Amino acid sequence: MEKTLIQLIKSRRSIRSYKNTSVPKEVLEDIIQAGKFAPSAKNRQPWKFIVVTNKDLIQQLSEKVKGFMRTVLKRRFLYQWFEKSLRDERQVGFLAGMVLSNKDTIFHGAPAVVFIITKNAVYNDESCACCAQNMMLAAHALGIGSCWIGFAHYLDRKKQTRQELGLPNGYHIAATLVFGHPEERPGKAQIRRVDADVMQWFE
């Protein structure tokens, strides 16, 4: 029996371990098409997509992110004024572990990376977030794992990297998603917070 939308939403997980198997181009196109049907402010559909499936390029991009993170860690007493998480020693230790690892700790060895880019305009990021969620749900429905990669936003801060990715002037990375065949079947979702903690009704 096909999964309902609600079941898909509840069973989707962020996947951080992938098989060394490529995702067919037509499957990635289907996932992106689902993203394009997301709601957007004034129906501007402000997104563009950069798809990377070249393994060597993905690894290079991963190392570039790590390089920026090394700089942040070295100068964390300066950056902590902008990144409050750097005031937490546990977070600093976590970042250091990612940087020092020989593995792809940024894109998790995924065979496909999709950058959702947009112009610097009001509500564009929110629209792209809706697009990203559509894509992750579509991927799950097709048996493909996904994960939103927050650290990848560092890639649009250097001119050379922007040129390598073909990122136009006036655009920035709104979301970065990875896709691939999950290495292992994900476990059950963590228990959600009780309604009393997150809901307030005015009737």
Q: pLDDT digit string (tens) for 161-200?
A: 999 999 999 999 999 999 999 998 777 767 777 666 778 8
Average pLDDT of every residue of the chain: 89
Average pLDDT over residues 80-97: 73
Query: Tokens for 121?
Result: 């305009």
Q: 80 near 86, Cβ under 8 Å?
A: yes
Q: pLDDT digit string (tens) for 44-62?
A: 999 999 999 999 999 999 9
Instruction: Say if strands 171-180 and 145-148 run parallel, antiparallel, or are unpaired.
Output: antiparallel
Class of the domain covering 15-54+104-182:
alpha beta
State how far the Cα of 144 lies from the Cα of 152, in Å rounded to an integer.
20
Q: Residue 1 pLDDT more than 60?
A: no
Q: pLDDT digit string (tens) for 24-34?
A: 999 999 999 99
Beta-carbon contacts of residue 48 (< 8 Å; ≥ 6 apart) = 116, 117, 118, 171
